[in-house]
C-alpha cells in the first residue's frame, strides 16, 4: 500500500495525529503541547476529550481535517485542528468552529444569563496561508477593542501555527513549542528523537510510543491507509502549487507582452522574447 515506512509514524497523518495527541493512555502529549501553546502561568494538569472529531461538511473536508475537542479542568473548551492543505476561507472556518461551540452553550428558557465558557482554537497548518503579505510562525487572534486597545472578551481566542515556517535545526529549538513543531514537521524522516530534546521526559516517552514497530498489527494497517491518504493529498497539493506557479509565469509573460505592444514592438519579436505564440499575442491586442 505504501512504498516505505519510516522509524516513526508521521504525526501529520490522520492516524498519527490522533494516535499521539488523542489517546487517553498518553494525555501527557496533548498536555505538553497545550501548555506550550496556551498554558501561561497556570499549567494545564488534565484534559478531557469531548469527542473524537468534528464531522466535515463534505467528503473533501473529511479527507483534510483532523481535530480534537477537549475540555480543561476549569471548563475551557479547546479545539485542536490539523490541516494539511489550504482551503478557501480557512480563517472563516476557524471562526465558525469556535462560534458553533459557543452557540452550543446556550440554554433554553428565561433563566439563562448568557454566561459563557471560553472556547479556544489551536490550528496547526501544514501549508502556506494565502492572501497574507506578512507571514508569522505563530499568529494569535482575539476579540479586541480598537479604541481602548484592550481585549474585549476572553470567551474566544485562536492561535494559528504554521508548521512550514519553522526554519530551525533541532539544536536551535529552544522552547517546548518549537520542539513540538519541529517533530511535527520532521519526525517521519528521523531515525531517533534529537538528543537535545531528551531533557524533556515527554519527548523521551514520545520516542518509544510513536515508533512504527511499537504498533499492533491492527494499528499498523490503519496507519498505512492513513499514510497513503496523506501522501495522495500531498501529491495533489504539490500539483496545485506547480500549476499555480505555471499560471503565474504565464500571466507574467502576458504582462510583458502587453507592455512591449504598447511600446510598438513587432509581434514576432515579442513572440521570440516571451515564448508566447502569435495567436496568444493577438488576443492581447
DSSP 62: H
Length of the chain in terms of residues written: 285
Q: What is the pLDDT of residues 226-269, one digit of tens each?
A: 999 888 876 766 666 665 566 767 788 888 888 888 888 888 88
**Closest among 1, 3, 35, 9 to 210, alpha carbons compared:** 9
List % helix, strand, coil for the chain (3-state, nearest 5).
Answer: 50, 20, 35
Are 37 and 161 within 8 A, CB to CB?
yes
Confidence at residue 63, expressed as pLDDT on a 0 to 100 scale: 37
Kindly report which listed range (144-158, 166-180, 206-220, 245-259) carries the lowest average pLDDT score.
Answer: 245-259
Cβ-proximal residues to 4 (8 Å cutoff; 6+ apart), any chain: none
Are 147 and 176 within 8 A, CB to CB?
no
E strand or H helix that includes residue 256: helix 217-262
**Closest among 61, 185, 71, 176 to 118, alpha carbons compared:** 71
- Residue 158 sits at φ, ψ, to 5 deg, of -135, 140
Mean pLDDT over 104-113 rounds to: 79
Q: 97-116 burial, b if ≥16 CB within 10 A, otherwise e? A: bbeebbeeeeeeeeeeeeee
Are 246 and 235 within 8 A, CB to CB?
no
Kindly report which listed range (50-59, 124-133, 150-159, 175-184) carries the lowest average pLDDT score.
Answer: 50-59
Residue with more model confidence, 65 or 194: 194
**Distance in angstroms (rounded) separating the CA atoms of residues 38 and 36:** 6
Q: What is the pLDDT of residues 33-80, one digit of tens each?
A: 999 999 877 889 999 998 654 444 444 444 334 489 999 988 899 999
Confidence (pTM): 0.77
**Closest among 176, 183, 178 to 6, alpha carbons compared:** 183
**Distance in angstroms (rounded) separating the CA atoms of residues 210 and 208:** 6
Mean pLDDT over 122-144 rounds to: 83
**Closest among 164, 159, 166 to 130, alpha carbons compared:** 164
**Distance in angstroms (rounded) separating the CA atoms of residues 49 and 5:** 29
**Distance in angstroms (rounded) separating the CA atoms of residues 51 and 57:** 17
Amino acid at each position: 500500500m505504501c512504498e516505505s515506512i519510516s522509524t516513526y509514524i508521521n504525526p501529520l497523518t490522520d492516524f498519527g495525529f490522533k494516535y499521539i495527541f488523542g489517546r487517553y493512555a498518553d494525555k501527557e502529549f496533548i498536555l505538553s503541547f497545550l501548555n506550550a501553546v496556551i498554558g501561561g502561568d497556570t499549567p494545564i494538569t488534565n484534559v478531557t476529550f469531548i469527542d473524537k472529531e468534528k464531522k466535515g461538511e463534505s467528503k473533501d473536508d473529511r479527507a483534510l481535517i483532523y481535530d480534537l475537542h477537549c475540555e480543561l479542568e476549569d471548563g475551557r473548551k479547546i479545539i485542536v485542528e490539523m490541516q494539511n492543505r489550504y482551503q478557501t476561507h480557512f480563517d472563516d472556518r476557524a471562526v465558525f468552529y469556535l462560534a458553533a461551540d459557543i452557540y452550543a452553550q446556550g440554554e433554553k428558557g428565561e433563566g439563562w444569563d448568557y454566561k459563557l465558557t471560553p472556547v479556544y482554537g489551536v490550528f496547526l497548518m501544514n501549508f502556506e496561508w494565502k492572501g497574507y503579505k506578512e507571514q508569522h510562525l505563530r499568529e494569535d487572534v482575539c476579540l479586541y477593542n480598537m479604541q481602548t486597545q484592550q481585549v474585549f472578551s476572553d470567551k474566544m481566542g485562536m492561535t494559528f501555527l504554521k508548521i512550514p515556517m519553522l526554519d530551525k535545526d533541532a539544536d536551535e529549538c529552544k522552547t517546548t513549542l518549537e520542539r513540538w513543531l519541529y517533530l511535527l514537521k520532521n519526525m517521519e524522516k528521523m531515525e531517533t528523537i534529537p538528543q537535545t530534546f531528551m531533557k524533556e521526559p515527554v519527548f523521551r516517552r514520545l520516542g518509544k510510543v510513536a515508533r512504527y514497530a511499537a504498533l499492533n498489527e491492527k494499528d499498523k494497517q490503519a496507519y498505512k491507509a492513513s499514510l497513503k491518504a496523506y501522501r495522495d493529498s500531498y501529491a495533489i497539493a504539490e500539483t496545485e502549487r506547480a500549476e499555480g506557479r505555471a499560471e503565474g509565469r504565464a500571466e507574467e509573460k502576458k504582462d510583458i507582452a502587453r507592455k512591449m505592444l504598447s511600446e510598438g514592438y513587432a509581434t514576432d519579436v515579442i513572440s521570440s522574447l516571451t515564448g508566447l505564440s502569435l495567436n496568444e499575442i493577438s488576443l492581447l491586442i
